[in-house]
Structure 1
């Protein structure tokens, strides 16, 4: 099954040979690798680029663990550039490489190289990109499948497809499962073993239960205005647990940095400014949110707000 991601593919095509490092960001398993290693890769081949002039490296693959070393990566790439023709460098999960910014800046100085990378942590792969790459970094942020992309792949009755979408979300691999239980198991396992585990390990979170409970509260209250103080009060009243505002603020930052949730700040139209006192948080993928709640609280109106 081929999934169309035309908008993102066009962004990559338009960015070819512009002198910038192209950084494709987004929540893990949203299809960044598929975009680069299938859709963009096939586009390059179809447009006359030789296969040996496309250097592809998946740093999540255990076989490539040695290439997480910056010097090893530099040698590996330079050894594969044999002539003056243009080479495309494609690296998956670049944040797993030590000193990756220095390495990518080195690639910028290779006259006949065009570099594309994926990354799953927004802390250093979003607002910092222009600075880190000295004004020569470009972000292409990929979301899970929109309903239009989802429907183009699944087809059939549109209402049935919509119910499927707002229940199980738009992570591409969901389309490969043939039973409801397999879809639910995939989403639950993904949250526990990939997203939550990664957030806890990367940020050295000491209290795993606090983080898990916060995610549950956020999932139960999509569309509700909140801030660290309100969330702290919720912990105190519902869980009989005291968590300081700063700790909750840190946790929210970790969840946002992983792209698991997105923050929407209120905007005062009359005053033409953002109001920072309260915000709404939405899940990047509604299927993950539903799985976190054990497939309960699937109210279409709230879910519609999250999806939009």
Structure 2
């Protein structure tokens, strides 16, 4: 049915067990991260399994011929017009939030045994709006932009050149990011123009229109603050002081609302702190990570690469896209970059550093002391990891030193 569709196995593998189920499959993620192509991959797989094309109903609501469908009644009429007399149907609705009140239609067809797949551009358009009406009847599959392994794999799929030096390729990936369509463009300025267009589209369609933001300059300043301070501890008071110094008058509740909008639009992800001594979550000095590093480089004139924060951001996205539960670890006055909980319930502790090597022996010792010290305060026996771009491992004190590229390519695991 669809040609030249790169299959993103990481997500297909999770959705595949539910292909024939009447549980509604909801695929969410930031705009242009590739959700539509995951739908197309699923349709291709169904056809390869012997499902007939007439059993597959595909309604892309952002495409010509479907954009005029705005009400549940119009959506149902369109679906009915595409049905025949088959015993089993697979219903795919792309950008389902374009129809206000779609839930009743989707629920009705699920009740009749249809296997339903829907996509939406951000979390609040789906989770908040359908949770009450489809309780227990849907599964959410969150999608991210391409990780480094997918980035290389997709370049190979489309016969694009790959640098033999994977470290140089990784530097390019950090700046270019993982929005799939950027791989069509061969120069950085064009890719950044495309990414800026995505952010503008998110703001216009997912934030400004639906939330009716009245003070756009303040919203844009809050967005710029988070984008420029990714991977850094966040203080609402510091942001409010910055806004006041720049002449913006606003309330803390307004700023919190704008941050929530950025989270719901999947521009940023929030990672909260967890105090290992009190075993409680802390809602202060959390960190925000970008959904794709290209967002930072596209929205800033300064394209110099800050490897430490960038690597930490990409490690966060790697962990999130592999379904780890993630917190920032507070151990007394010390901090561990990440505490992760695995699917089996076990924990692991992670420090991220661009390199453990300094300009001289003393600088190297200081770096190693900084990275190893938090682990010494942890009393349980769960594994500890340092992730860096160093080619040579530094195994000390029972800590596993992992090369980041090996981790991203699946050669190492946590």
Task: Output the TM-score relative to the length of structure 1.
Answer: 0.93
Secondary structure of 1:132's aligned partner: coil
Between 274-283 and 22-31, the greater mean CA deviation after superposition: 274-283
Shift of 1:173: 0.5
The 2-side partners of 1:169 and 1:274 are apart by 31
Q: 1:301 aligns with which of 308, 314, 321?
A: 308
1:121 aligns to what? 122
Query: What does 1:137-176 correspond to in 2, within 5 Å?
Result: 137-154=138-155, 155-157=162-164, 158-176=166-184
Which runs of at least 4 in structure 1 moved beyond 6 Å after TM superposition? none
1:270 aligns with 2:277: yes
1:188–1:291 Cα contact (<8 Å) kept = yes
Shift of 1:305: 1.0
Residues 166-224 of structure 1 deviation map (CA, whole Å, 9 limit, x = unaligned): 001100011110112211211122222x1222211221011222111111111111122
The size of the alignment, in residue pairs, is: 304
Between 22-31 and 260-269, the greater mean CA deviation after superposition: 260-269
Which of 1 and 2 has higher RCO (CA within 8 Å, sep 6+)? 1
Q: 2:45 aligns with which of 43, 46, 60?
A: 43
The 2-side partners of 1:294 and 1:188 are apart by 12
Residues 19-66 of structure 1 deviation map (CA, whole Å, 9 limit, x = unaligned): 2111000000000001102x1111111111111111111111242133
The 1-side partners of 2:196 and 2:125 are apart by 27
Whichever structure has more helix as a proportion of its residues is: 1
Alpha-carbon spacing, 1:120–1:183, altered in 2? closer, same or farther (3 Å): same
Shift of 1:127: 6.5
Residues 233-255 of structure 1 deviation map (CA, whole Å, 9 limit, x = unaligned): 12123x23232111100100111
Secondary structure of 2:123's aligned partner: coil
2:174–2:294 Cα contact (<8 Å) kept = yes
Shift of 1:160: 2.5
1:196 aligns to what? 203
2:223–2:259 Cα contact (<8 Å) kept = no
The 2-side partners of 1:27 and 1:184 are apart by 16
Between 14-23 and 246-255, the greater mean CA deviation after superposition: 14-23
Max radius of gyration: which structure?
2
The 2-side partners of 1:295 and 1:48 are apart by 52
The 1-side partners of 2:136 and 2:184 are apart by 40
Shift of 1:129: 5.0
The 2-side partners of 1:102 and 1:44 are apart by 26
The 2-side partners of 1:13 and 1:290 are apart by 35
Query: What does 1:1-308 correspond to in 2, within 5 Å?
Result: 2-37=5-40, 39-111=41-113, 113-126=114-127, 129-154=130-155, 155-157=162-164, 158-192=166-200, 194-198=201-205, 199-237=207-245, 239-308=246-315
1:129–1:137 Cα contact (<8 Å) kept = no
The 2-side partners of 1:123 and 1:189 are apart by 21
Task: Output the TM-score relative to the length of structure 2.
Answer: 0.70
The 2-side partners of 1:234 and 1:5 are apart by 42
Alpha-carbon spacing, 1:218–1:31, altered in 2? closer, same or farther (3 Å): same
Between 126-135 and 89-98, the greater mean CA deviation after superposition: 126-135
